[in-house]
Amino acid sequence: MYTHFLLLQRRQTKHNTDQSTSETILSLGKLAFKGLKEKNLLFTEEDLTSCGTDVTKAAVFSGLLTRIKRENHELYKQNMFCFVHQSIQEFMAALHVFHSFTNKGENVFTESTSATSDLTASEFYKKAVDKAFEDEHGDWDMFLRFLVGLSLESNQDLLQDLIDKSEKHKDASKEAAEYIKKKIRENNSDPDKNLNLFFCLNELNDDSLVQEIKNYLNSEEKPFETFSASQWSALNFVLLTSDENLEVFDLKKYLKSEKVLLGMMPVVKVSKSTLLSWCELSEESCNGLTSSVLTKPSSNLTVLDLSHNDLMDAGVMRLADGLKNVNCKLETLKLAGCQVTERGCISLAEAIEFNRVSSLKHLDLSYNHPGDKGMRALNAIVEDPNKKLETVK
């Protein structure tokens, strides 16, 4: 899709300028890669010039790069530039890296400017996968999807005016897919990383791991308790890319198990309502929900029902850590019958008080033991006119 979009931009500009557009496109790719390395989304005219981009020529590619006028801004009088969307920048950066390797024999991932013509395409993709996988914040995830997609012959045919077709890539896409599957099997700690690698496999038209999960879902046998980390990632990928409505996540639909919940956190994160009552959960589930969902800016979760699980004060205090986070979007939290005492209730009240932008409106603590101090702390929050909290049971 992005390749066709680039070709459309190029076709439109040919009617507006007599200059070759290839050099401008490739210089924009260099600019995009520079920004990705430096975690920069805004560029000055000097940034464009340093990457060999003529500002006048770049202006005709308004579908890729746009100018931000700041004449009225006190600190920034000069014009600034940015790509029209971050994914456009990531695609252009991947195009630059692919072109540098294919046409010039250079691996721009390294600091050295010397040619690396002896580097095989397979090694090149492995280095790219490792770079994205090792980044803690996922800044290279979309870039990697675009880069492995460019390894396919179909995309290289579309970009033949920009990229030399090379024998280097003949079997590289298959080898890249095998290396990605190896990384998925070895990673037992970060499901989000594995999820991105599944998107990369999708770009490479490899669905071997996904097909295994689809077969499980279509059969009566659902051995979730014995799933490996790679199988959990495959299950999350299948659900996230399916037509299934994920607004409500009900753990009982799969299996009432803490292990299953922890394995499906990426699905919980995109749901608006998560139903976990009577599912035999403990403090460990609260740890997972806080670190993987409540504190993530990408989370959609607004309703969380954990009623009638033995969370105890320790688990509820961990949830309170999530409520303190400015990224938490919870509006309803149900903790009925979770063996919460005065200590846990006070922690919840302090968390709501701490987060000045807390969105929590409804808190259910029925069938617990808040004690007098816990009741007073919670009532004080309800009566605070600056808080959105409307009801506490």
- Phi and psi at residue 308, to the nearest 5°: 60, 45
Residue listed under structure tokens 């990605």? 180
What's the confidence (pLDDT) of residue 231? 86
Residue 38 CB neighbour total at 10 angstroms: 9
What's the confidence (pLDDT) of residue 22? 86
What's the confidence (pLDDT) of residue 79? 79
Contacts of 76 (CB under 8 A, 6+ apart): 70
Residue listed under structure tokens 């709501």? 352
**Pairing mode of beta strands 303-305, 332-334:** parallel
Amino acid residing at 392: V
Most confident residue range from 9-13, 34-38, 44-48, 243-247: 34-38
Give the model confidence (pLDDT) of 111-141 as tens digits. 554 445 577 888 899 999 999 988 888 899 9
Sort 186 into a burial class: Cβ within 10 Å, 0-12 / 13-18 / 19+: exposed
pLDDT at 17 over 50: no
Mean pLDDT check: name the lowest of 5-9, 169-173, 347-351: 169-173
pLDDT at 171 over 90: no
When pLDDT is averaged across residues 26-36 and rounded to a whole number, the result is: 94
**83 three-class SS:** strand
Q: What is the CA radius of gyration of the chain?
A: 25
What's the confidence (pLDDT) of residue 116? 52
Higher pLDDT, 207 or 164: 207
What's the confidence (pLDDT) of residue 247? 95
Write the DSSP symbol of residue 170: T
Q: Which of 61, 67, 73, 50 is nearest to 24 (CA)?
A: 61
CA distance 47 to 40: 11
Give the model confidence (pLDDT) of 291-341 as tens digits. 999 999 999 999 999 999 999 999 999 999 999 999 999 999 999 999 999
Distance (Å) of CA 153 to CA 107, 169, 177, 225: 20, 8, 15, 40
pLDDT at 191 over 60: yes
Burial 222-240 (b: 16+ CB within 10 A, else e): eebeebebbbbbbbbbbbb
**227 three-class SS:** coil
CA distance 59 to 126: 36
Tell me the pLDDT of the chain averaged across its residues.
88
CA distance 32 to 41: 9
Q: Domain spans of the chain?
A: 2-179, 245-393
Give the model confidence (pLDDT) of 219-260 as tens digits. 777 788 788 888 888 899 999 998 888 999 999 988 899 999
Residue 273, beta-bridge partner list? 248, 303
Residue 43, beta-bridge partner list? 81
CA distance 243 to 241: 7
CA distance 112 to 285: 46
Contacts of 225 (CB under 8 A, 6+ apart): 255, 257, 259, 260
CA distance 197 to 368: 43
Total-model pTM: 0.78
CA distance 146 to 163: 15
Residue 364, beta-bridge partner list? 334
- Phi and psi at residue 295, to the nearest 5°: -95, 5
pLDDT at 19 over 90: no
| Banded pLDDT at 164 (limits 50, 70, 90) | confident
Mean pLDDT check: name the lowest of 184-193, 195-204, 231-240, 333-342: 184-193
What's the confidence (pLDDT) of residue 129? 93
Contacts of 73 (CB under 8 A, 6+ apart): none
pLDDT at 212 over 90: no
What's the confidence (pLDDT) of residue 168? 65
CA distance 93 to 143: 7
Give the model confidence (pLDDT) of 59-113 as tens digits. 778 889 998 866 555 555 677 899 999 999 999 999 999 999 988 888 887 655 4
CA distance 344 to 184: 38
Strand residue runs (E) in 38-103: 65-68, 80-83
Kindly state which CATH superfamily the domain 245-393 is placed in. Answer: Ribonuclease Inhibitor (3.80.10.10)
Can you read off the two tokens belonging to residue 365? 């603590």
Distance (Å) of CA 23 to CA 26, 30, 158: 5, 10, 17
When pLDDT is averaged across residues 44-72 and rounded to a whole number, the result is: 82
CA distance 389 to 393: 11
CA distance 311 to 290: 13
Can you read off the two tokens belonging to residue 210? 């996904």
Residue 174 CB neighbour total at 10 angstroms: 13
